[in-house]
Structure 1
């Protein structure tokens, strides 16, 4: 990947994130990943609410697969990573991981996400605007 090679966003596990077993509820990892993707776009200067107005596009999750490898617990400090795997005409393939800050070599989970660029009104796929493609390839 060019541009931001691997983006990382810090997350702290709160009580509200855990289930009856005292570990992060599985769906909350998806929330962490969504937040990291949003912050990654902001880092690239791409604010999603602005993009929805002009040029009138959204990024919609088309597919996500996730492997849960080990639990995270209350108060854990995590890093959520985003890395581009592929840039296509209308979509991005991203790899994401949720890593404990104290043991980053032992991820809690890993996932692959395909987001599609869609028209904000019709929700139909549209090509990625050239200025976004350029940002994704800048250093």
Structure 2
């Protein structure tokens, strides 16, 4: 499999720790009975928000007095295996790299057997509400992104 943002798939996959469990709902499948191609983006959002909550970022961003907010700048998904109604998945999320005010977030969906079913990546930028310009991460925030060390079972 050739995915442009992944050099060594097994090494990349081994770097995930944090996941969010999801179960495929009937409404998320298409006429052919498999997961609609738009749904992994919803799963990415769910996993990303739980990851950011775990790190303490969401609580800060949701505080009305806080001056910064997160914005997703881009998002992509690569489909590896078909997924069907009622399957239980784990959607893994990690910060692959952290820039000045952006973070490259990677995702991996696995089925109950641990098989990779989809993967993806996206850039999220922290920006100020007042100017709409990027707000740099602190060293503490960068460290939190790169060392979350936790798994959750929803």
2:61 to 51, 54, 78: 51
Contact 2:67 2:129 in 1 (8 A): yes
- With the length of structure 2 as denominator, give the TM-score of the two structures: 0.76
Give the 3-state SS of the residue equivalent to 1:94 in structure 2.
Answer: strand
Give the 3-state SS of the residue equivalent to 1:43 in structure 2.
Answer: helix
Distance 1:7 1:54 in 2: 29
| Structure 1: runs of 5 or more not aligned | none
Residue 70 of structure 1 aligns with which residue?
81
Give the 3-state SS of the residue equivalent to 1:67 in structure 2.
Answer: strand
Residue 20 of structure 1 aligns with which residue?
31
Question: What displacement does 1:131 show?
Answer: 4.3
Aligned length: 133
Residue 93 of structure 1 aligns with which residue?
104
Runs of 4 or more, structure 1, over 4 Å off, are none
| Structure 2: runs of 5 or more not aligned | 1-14, 150-154
- With the length of structure 1 as denominator, give the TM-score of the two structures: 0.84
Question: What displacement does 1:121 show?
Answer: 4.2
